[in-house]
Every structure is written in structure tokens, then in C-alpha cells.
């Protein structure tokens, strides 16, 4: 195989972004050969248009397929791709619930590469945060907090869509759509918590059924505590992550990464100092991070390298489970009004979700002329 031939199922905002990445030559040894779209959107020259995923898979035009459909159809479209023996890249989240996501992971046949578009793992600051924590520079992690409120969405974002902001369309709101990236990075760096207690507001800022404001408190190993605050209704919002350890603290303000390193264990200083208002000696430095890059292209390049060279996948499909489990646990805590232990009771969550799916419906989209700048959505 000289090049990996990609097809894209779902030609909305993100599907067209992936098409531009592939057609623009940003992924070596890859080319876009087909798209599935029922609309009249313009496709790159030489790319074949299909009306359904079944039509696409019936021929021999693609080696790998990117599933970029609305969340509600992620799992079904991906199962069809896998059953056809094609390699798979699926947008986040891979399904609307942990139970459905596990079924999808189990459906991957041998010899097929299946990855999830966890592109923010290629964010230069998040990669460096993971490196700092993994190297033990902060010592034992005692606390974290992440303000994930930079995901502001105006009403028109929902009004022009059948599926956004609905239980049948997304299986959630801020947690399952926007902040799923943050939740993935959080569990990638620190692991999943042991329990979560959440205060969730549904339709606080928008006329939607799902969550648009979240405050969740977590407990983790060795007494690690954490707070997650998420919103799609605050402007300008903040992306602020703090990770505190026994040997210092790491602060990310959305652009600059700062490391405070203590000369000794804080616990040791606390128990031995005789200075009533003493503080451990510490140094502060700005941590250098790499340049911005096309994160989606990085994921696709890794998939191509895995297909052609058997390079290990950086974001294999099972890696998409953690963020869904955390998002589901936060929602279940709000629905049950109690602390939820992890691992999540996936069957109980599915039962609660099914009740909401049965009691709601997709939206009748409004015909509004909107301007779309996808670059503004990557926060």
C-alpha cells in the first residue's frame, strides 16, 4: 500500500476540517478519496461523493474511514466500518454511554487499526504537563482544579442543529461534547478518580435539555482531591488548570505554563519547621512548550504510520473510554443526587440515560444564516 486512502463519513464542520487537512497534504502518505454527505457541500477535486456509509463501504475506494457524524450515530457508523474490515478513526466521544462505548471497543477485529480523535493529547502544553507529572517533579499529587469555562456557545450554535443540546443527539451537553477533551486530558495525566460528587445545571444558559454548567468534586488515590468546573454559558470564560503536589505546583492559564518547585517535601516542612509563618523555599520558572500544530493531523499521521509501519497507535479506541466514564459518572451523580464511585455502574447509567432518551426528541433546526469559523471552536 503506497498511501492510505481515507473516506470521511459525516461532512459537517469537523468533517470538512478533516477533509481540508488531508486534501492539503498535511498528512504524509495519506489522501482523501471519498466522503459521505447528503448535502450539497463542495468536496475537494477528485473526491467521490456517496450518500451513505453502506454505499461507501460497498466499493474499494478507501482503506480507512473517519467517522465525523453527530454523536448519536458514532457507534453505528463505526460498527459498519469495522465490519467491512476498514481501519477506523472516530470523533469524540466514541459513543453516548460507557456501555455502548465498550461494545464498540469489543467490535474491533484483529488486524484493524481503530483510533479515537483525542487530538488535544497533542496540545503542546498538555503534553508537557503530562511529562512533568510523569517525571515526578511535583511529587505525590494532592489536589487539582480545572476551570473549563472557555467553551462558550451562543444560542445559534444549538438552534441550527437537530442534535446539539439534546439527549438523543449527544447523550449530554458540555461534558459529552466540548469538555470531553479536557476530561480525557485530565484522566490521561492523573488517572480516573475513585469517586465524584457533582452539581449540574441543565439548560441554565440555553434553551436545551442537557447540561451547560457543571461543578464536580472528585476524590482520588492517596487522598487526592479535585474540582472540575465546566460551562458553555460564560464569556469570555477560562481555561485554567492547577495541579498541586507535595514538591510543588503546576499552573496553566490557557497560554503559559508555570512550575513552582519546592526544595523539600511540603509534608516534611510542615511537620518539622519551627517557623510559625514559615514557607518551604521554592523556585518558579516558566516551562517551555512546543509550537502550536495541527493536532488533528498528528492523530491522522499516527494512524497512517500504524497502518503502514505498524507503529503503535497513540490513541487506540479503548483510550476513549476514560473520558466517557468520567462524564457519565458526573451526570449520574447529579441525577441520583449522591456521590458516585468508580468504576461506574454502566448499566445503572444506561438505564437513567434511556429514560431521558425516551422522554425527549431531536430539535427542529432553524434556518438561520450563520458564520462558521472552526478555528474559534478549538479552545
What pLDDT digit, counting tens, does each position of 282-297 carry? 999 999 998 999 999 9
- Give the per-residue pLDDT at 257: 98
Please give the Cα distance from 89 to 36 (Å, whole number). 15
* pLDDT of 100 higher than 70: yes
Secondary structure class of 355 (helix, strand, coil): helix
Which whole number is the average pLDDT over 134-140?
98
Which whole number is the average pLDDT over 7-20?
96
- Give the per-residue pLDDT at 1: 73
Delineate the domains of the chain, giving CATH numbers in brackets: 4-119+294-316 (3.40.50.720), 121-292+323-358 (3.30.360.10)
Please give the Cα distance from 279 to 262 (Å, whole number). 9
Secondary structure class of 35 (helix, strand, coil): strand
**How many Cα atoms sit within 13 Å of 147 on the Cβ side?**
14
What's the chain's average pLDDT? Answer: 96
pLDDT, one tens digit per residue, over 320-348 is 999 999 999 999 999 999 999 999 999 99
DSSP 272-323: H---TT----EEEEEPP-PPP--HHHHHHHHHHHHHHH-PPPSSBGGGGHHH
pTM of structure: 0.96
- Give the per-residue pLDDT at 376: 65
Amino acid at each position: 500500500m503506497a498511501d492510505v486512502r481515507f473516506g470521511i463519513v459525516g461532512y459537517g464542520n469537523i468533517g470538512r476540517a478533516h477533509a481540508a487537512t488531508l486534501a492539503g497534504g498535511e498528512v504524509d502518505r495519506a489522501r482523501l478519496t471519498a466522503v459521505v454527505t447528503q448535502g450539497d457541500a463542495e468536496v475537494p477535486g477528485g473526491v467521490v461523493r456517496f450518500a451513505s456509509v453502506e454505499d461507501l463501504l460497498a466499493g474499494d475506494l478507501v482503506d480507512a474511514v473517519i467517522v465525523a457524524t453527530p454523536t448519536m450515530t458514532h457507534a453505528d457508523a463505526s460498527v459498519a466500518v469495522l465490519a467491512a474490515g476498514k481501519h477506523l478513526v472516530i470523533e469524540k466521544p466514541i459513543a453516548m454511554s460507557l456501555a455502548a462505548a465498550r461494545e464498540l471497543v469489543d467490535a474491533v477485529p484483529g488486524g484493524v487499526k481503530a483510533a479515537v480523535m483525542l487530538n488535544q493529547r497533542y496540545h503542546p502544553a498538555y503534553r508537557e504537563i503530562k511529562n512533568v507529572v510523569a517525571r515526578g517533579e511535583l511529587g505525590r499529587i494532592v489536589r487539582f482544579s480545572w476551570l473549563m469555562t472557555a467553551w462558550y456557545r451562543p444560542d445559534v450554535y444549538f438552534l441550527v442543529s437537530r442534535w446539539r443540546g439534546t439527549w438523543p443527539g449527544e447523550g449530554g451537553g458540555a461534558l459529552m461534547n466540548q469538555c470531553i477533551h479536557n476530561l480525557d486530558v485530565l484522566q490521561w495525566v492523573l488517572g480516573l478518580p475513585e469517586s465524584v460528587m457533582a452539581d449540574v445545571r441543565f439548560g441554565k444558559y440555553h434553551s436545551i435539555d442537557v447540561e451547560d454548567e457543571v461543578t464536580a468534586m472528585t476524590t482520588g488515590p492517596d487522598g487526592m482531591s479535585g474540582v472540575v468546573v465546566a460551562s458553555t454559558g460564560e464569556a469570555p470564560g477560562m481555561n485554567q488548570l492547577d495541579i498541586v503536589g507535595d514538591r510543588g505546583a503546576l499552573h496553566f492559564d490557557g497560554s503559559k505554563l508555570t512550575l513552582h518547585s519546592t526544595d523539600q517535601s511540603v509534608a516534611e516542612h510542615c511537620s518539622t519547621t519551627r517557623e510559625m509563618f514559615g514557607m518551604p523555599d521554592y523556585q518558579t520558572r516558566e516551562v517551555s512548550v512546543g509550537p502550536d500544530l495541527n493536532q488533528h493531523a498528528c492523530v491522522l499521521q499516527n494512524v497512517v504510520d500504524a497502518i503502514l509501519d505498524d507503529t503503535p497507535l497513540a490513541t487506540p479506541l479503548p483510550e476513549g473510554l476514560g473520558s466517557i466514564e468520567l462524564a457519565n459518572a458526573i451526570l449520574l451523580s447529579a441525577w441520583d443526587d449522591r456521590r458516585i464511585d468508580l468504576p461506574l455502574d454502566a448499566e445503572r447509567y444506561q438505564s437513567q440515560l434511556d429514560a431521558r432518551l425516551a422522554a425527549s426528541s431531536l430539535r427542529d433546526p432553524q434556518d438561520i444564516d450563520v458564520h462558521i469559523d472552526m478555528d474559534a471552536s478549538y479552545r
